[in-house]
């Protein structure tokens, strides 16, 4: 127990220290107001929106503004950071509730929660506790849903803004705007497949257009996959794979759940490498190290643009959004509880949602109204921005997320509550026992493929629990649960045994 506690302390410190060791706010000496934003966004987005908002603030508010970007890592690291900082800040501000600070952060106190835990939760939601950060910007809709449920993000009062009339409340079944105004989509993201034209031609393959193709044996050793426990975007893509399979087998949702996980498992088995970074797979594809990978649209398009410039023109990456296999997702922005520069933070949100801010996402660098140095390759969340000027200046003028959204309907009732389970489950049954998984998949392929050895294929498809039991398993992995590590270890041990059996059966021709 002590070892686990020490490990948790070290992990929190590794995330918190680089963010915390920043200069304190001090606008008095220089007259510059500092807006602090925590984000997983890369340097291009930070640079372009920082410069554009500073120019807007000078022109419209007569203010000198500096954006102070806090970048502790991806969405998972940001979530851990906010969890730790809000718990500590609340305990300091309300020492009478310090013993219940974890309960204060819990969105749904257990029915048996003590009166003290309930009082702590009520006190946190009524407080203006600050972590000295104004905004959280980017990372996907599900993490923002968690931030809202925990109480970290609050209503910024922008639901009545005219800009909101052009933002659909939902798209392809997904929320674009929190009904309570606690977060709003700043831009859109589409998940799909990045592929290398050179490698495809070399192998005689047609470019894959559906997720299921990446699970075929012919891609064995030819994919790069990112760890879903390190990136919320990867989990979101995997959830779409599961949703597509469930839609295919509807109304047998349990079979669809199993089919979706099997496709993901085989994609992991086909991987030449598993990476901690969600952006590395597209870089592997553009270099030709991998034939294909899962990808986020803007990362794939940015890599394609860069590679075309480097190679003098030949296309080295193609991106395909699987029809019926991907939704159009919001990448939100939100005001944090206790924001020291609340008014300025709301101004930044309004700027991001303005016509000028929305065009920054998609215009080519150097075009009128576009970014100065970096083309961001993102899609706007406002429909009205896709006008004649967009078609003239956008880097991807034919990309239409609103039409793509009609090919897929995300059904929250199927998997939304299981989102926190997907990453740990895939890690436990595919990433951690990957040696055994790859050996089994290789044996099945050499035996003639899944159809030739049905018993081995059935063993490979082992799952530690059914769809009906998934909610209970998710709850067992809950924050602070002492059951989480032993449970995941049990899943891995079970998977290893199943894959060894699959190898034996395949080698026996069964």
- Residue-wise pLDDT for 437-484, tens only, equals 999 999 999 999 999 999 999 999 999 999 999 999 999 987 556 788
* Structure tokens belonging to residue 20: 């915390």
Spatial distance between the Cα atoms of 441 and 428, rounded to a whole number of angstroms: 17
Q: How confident is the model at residue 121 (pLDDT cuts 50, 70, 90)?
A: very high
Q: Using the Cα atoms of residue 341, residue 342, residue 346 and residue 352 in order, give the sign of their dihedral.
A: positive
Contacts of 226 (CB under 8 A, 6+ apart): 234, 274, 275, 276, 277, 278, 280, 281, 293, 294
pLDDT at 310: 76
Residue 73 in contact with residue 229, Cβ under 8 Å? no
**C-beta separation of 337 from 150 below 8 A:** no
CATH class entry, domain 2-187+329-393: alpha beta
Give residue 6's pLDDT. Answer: 44
Cα–Cα distance for residue pair 49/496, rounded to 1 Å: 47
Q: Note the pLDDT of residue 480.
A: 56
Task: Give the tokens for residue 167.
Answer: 């933002």
Residue 240, strand partner residues: none
**DSSP tag of 370:** S
Domain boundaries, the chain: 2-187+329-393, 432-510
With a pLDDT cut of 70, the percent of the chain lying above it is 92
Tokens standing for residue 11: 């992990």
pLDDT digits over 192-205, tens only? 999 999 999 999 99
Mean pLDDT calculated for residue range 133-143? 94
Between CA 169 and CA 75, with CA 154 as vertex, the angle to 5 degrees is 80
pLDDT tens-digit profile of 209-266?
999 999 999 999 999 999 999 888 899 999 999 999 999 999 999 999 999 999 999 9
Q: Which spans in 127-206 are helix H?
A: 141-150, 197-203
For residue 314, what pLDDT is reported? Answer: 78
Is residue 67 over pLDDT 80?
yes
Average pLDDT over residues 282-294: 95
């Amino acid at each position: 127990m002590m070892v686990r506690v020490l490990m948790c302390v070290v992990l929190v410190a590794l995330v918190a220290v680089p963010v915390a060791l920043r200069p304190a706010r001090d606008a008095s000496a220089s007259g510059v107001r500092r807006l602090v934003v925590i984000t997983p966004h890369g340097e291009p987005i930070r640079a372009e929106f920082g410069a554009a908002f500073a120019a807007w603030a000078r022109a419209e508010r007569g203010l000198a503004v500096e954006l102070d970007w806090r970048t502790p890592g991806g969405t998972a690291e940001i979530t851990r950071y906010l969890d730790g900082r809000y718990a500590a800040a609340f305990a300091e501000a309300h020492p009478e509730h310090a013993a219940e600070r974890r309960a204060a952060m819990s969105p749904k106190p257990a029915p048996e929660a003590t009166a003290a835990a309930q009082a702590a939760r009520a006190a946190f939601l009524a407080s203006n506790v600050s972590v000295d950060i104004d905004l959280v910007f980017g990372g996907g809709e599900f993490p923002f849903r968690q931030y809202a449920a925990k109480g970290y993000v609050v209503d910024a009062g922008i639901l009545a803004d005219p800009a909101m009339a052009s933002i659909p409340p939902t798209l392809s079944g997904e929320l674009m705007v929190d009904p309570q105004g606690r977060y709003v989509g700043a831009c859109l993201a589409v998940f799909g497949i990045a592929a290398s034209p050179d490698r495809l031609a070399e192998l005689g393959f047609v470019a894959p257009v559906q997720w299921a193709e990446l699970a075929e044996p012919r891609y064995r050793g030819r994919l790069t996959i990112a760890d879903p426990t390190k990136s919320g975007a990867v989990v979101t893509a995997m959830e779409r794979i599961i949703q597509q399979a469930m839609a295919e087998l509807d109304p047998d949702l349990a079979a669809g759940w199993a089919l979706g996980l099997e496709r993901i498992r085989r994609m992991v088995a086909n991987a030449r490498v598993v990476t901690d970074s969600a952006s590395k797979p597209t870089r592997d594809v553009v270099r030709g190290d991998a034939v294909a990978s899962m990808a986020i649209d803007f990362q794939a398009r940015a890599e394609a643009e860069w590679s075309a410039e480097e190679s003098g023109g030949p296309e080295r990456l193609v991106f395909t959004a699987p029809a019926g296999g991907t939704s159009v997702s919001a990448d939100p922005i939100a005001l944090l509880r206790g924001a020291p520069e609340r008014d300025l933070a709301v101004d930044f949100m309004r700027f991001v949602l303005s016509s000028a801010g929305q065009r920054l996402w998609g215009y080519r660098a150097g075009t009128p109204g576009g970014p100065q140095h970096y083309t961001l390759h993102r899609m706007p969340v406002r429909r009205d921005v896709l006008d004649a000027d967009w078609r003239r200046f956008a880097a991807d003028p034919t990309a239409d997320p609103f039409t793509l959204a009609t090919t897929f309907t995300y059904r929250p009732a199927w998997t939304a509550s299981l989102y926190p389970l997907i990453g740990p489950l895939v890690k436990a049954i595919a990433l951690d026992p990957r040696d055994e998984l790859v050996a089994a998949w290789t044996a099945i392929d050499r035996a003639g493929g899944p159809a030739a050895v049905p018993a081995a294929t059935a063993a490979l498809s082992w799952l530690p629990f059914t769809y009906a039991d998934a909610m209970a398993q998710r709850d067992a992995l809950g924050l602070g649960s002492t059951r989480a590590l032993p449970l995941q270890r049990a899943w891995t041990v079970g998977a290893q045994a199943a894959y060894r059996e699959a190898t034996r059966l395949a080698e026996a021709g069964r």
